[in-house]
Amino acid sequence: MAALLASAVAGALVGASLAGQYALAAAIGVVQLLLLIGMTRSGDVPAARTSAAVALVAGVASALVVALTAEGAFDIESMTPALVAIGAGFVAMVVVQLARRDGRERLTASLTFGVWALLLVTALVGWLALGDDDTGAALLALALSGTAVGAAIMIFPGPAVIWVIGGTIGAGSVGLVLEAYLPAVDGADLGPLAAGVAAAVCGLAAAIGVWVSGLIRDDAPAGAARPGLAHGLVTATIPVALAAPVAVGTAWALAEGLLA
């Protein structure tokens, strides 16, 4: 059932986007917070809360800057604030480790946790960078719809690889249907190739995200705080975070004429 939470998060972002970039930025900030809470509660990594706080500041700051500066059609340079946040955040993560007074036990695990937290929360900023014109809005709807389908299909039992493939195919099919019958998408004139690819690759990323979240749950230590809540938050947010840079890549390919 946890996989359906990722679909709900994707749907919530679509709803927030209808109210504009600032509403979407606020929703992404909430998702960033939930992701970090889930990651922090999934294990007993040293300095996890401090690293999560650093990641949250970097993620929220980059989301705010992108929301304020990204206007019109997609421009790959709109992701610059996220890249700057990653660089500054990494330096801050190293400082966190240097400032520890516990003998720096499990240094590798603690630093790895911080870097992954940083990368995932800044990846979510990609949803803001798709552009606020008709094409960007349509691409956002398609990508998040594919994300929802790819995550939801992972609820079925059986070999994960089969459902990852199934989620990709299902998401691509939904993209084609939306392109053909949803006026907002059809009016953007993306074309069936771009619509199908955008939904399919985001569905693939989301399905892999659910799969990875399951692996995190299986590896969680017995002493993890409220493991059910932690797993639910991780499963609800990681697929959406992984799909965001994939959506940005699709937008770039579309802008370059590769999906025409």
pLDDT at 158: 81
Q: Which helix (H) or strand (E) holds 1?
A: none
Question: What are the b/e assignments for 67-94, b being 16+ CB within 10 Å?
Answer: beebeeebbeebbebbeebbebbbebbe
Domain hosting 205: range is 2-255
**Entry pTM:** 0.91
Q: Contact 47/110 with Cβ under 8 angstroms?
A: yes
Asked, for residue 260, whether it belongs to a domain, the answer is no
pLDDT, tens digit, 9 for 90 and up, residues 123-163? 999 999 998 888 999 999 999 999 999 999 999 888 889 99
**What number of other Cβ atoms are within 10 A of residue 28's Cβ?**
29
Question: What are the b/e assignments for 216-239, b being 16+ CB within 10 Å?
Answer: bbeebeeebeebeebbbbbbbbbb
- The CA-based diameter of the chain, rounded to the nearest angstrom, is 60
Asked, for residue 177, whether it belongs to a domain, the answer is yes
Asked, for residue 91, whether it belongs to a domain, the answer is yes
Confidence tier at 247 by pLDDT (50, 70, 90): very high
pLDDT at 222: 53
Whether the per-residue pLDDT at 54 is higher than 90: the answer is yes
- Looking at the structure of the chain, the number of domains it has is 1
Asked, for residue 239, whether it belongs to a domain, the answer is yes
Confidence tier at 186 by pLDDT (50, 70, 90): low
Asked, for residue 249, whether it belongs to a domain, the answer is yes
Smallest CA-to-CA distance from 62 within 110, 135, 136, 121 is with 121
Mean pLDDT of the chain: 89
pLDDT at 127: 96
User: What is the distance in angstroms between the CA of the first residue and the CA of the last residue of the chain?
Assistant: 37
Q: Contact 98/107 with Cβ under 8 angstroms?
A: no
Q: Kindly list the distances between the CA atom of residue 89 and the CA atoms of 8, 59, 122, 215, 218, in Å, as whole numbers in the listed order.
A: 29, 9, 10, 26, 28
pLDDT, tens digit, 9 for 90 and up, residues 79-120? 999 999 999 999 999 999 888 887 777 888 889 999 999 999
Q: Provide mean pLDDT across the span 172-178.
A: 94
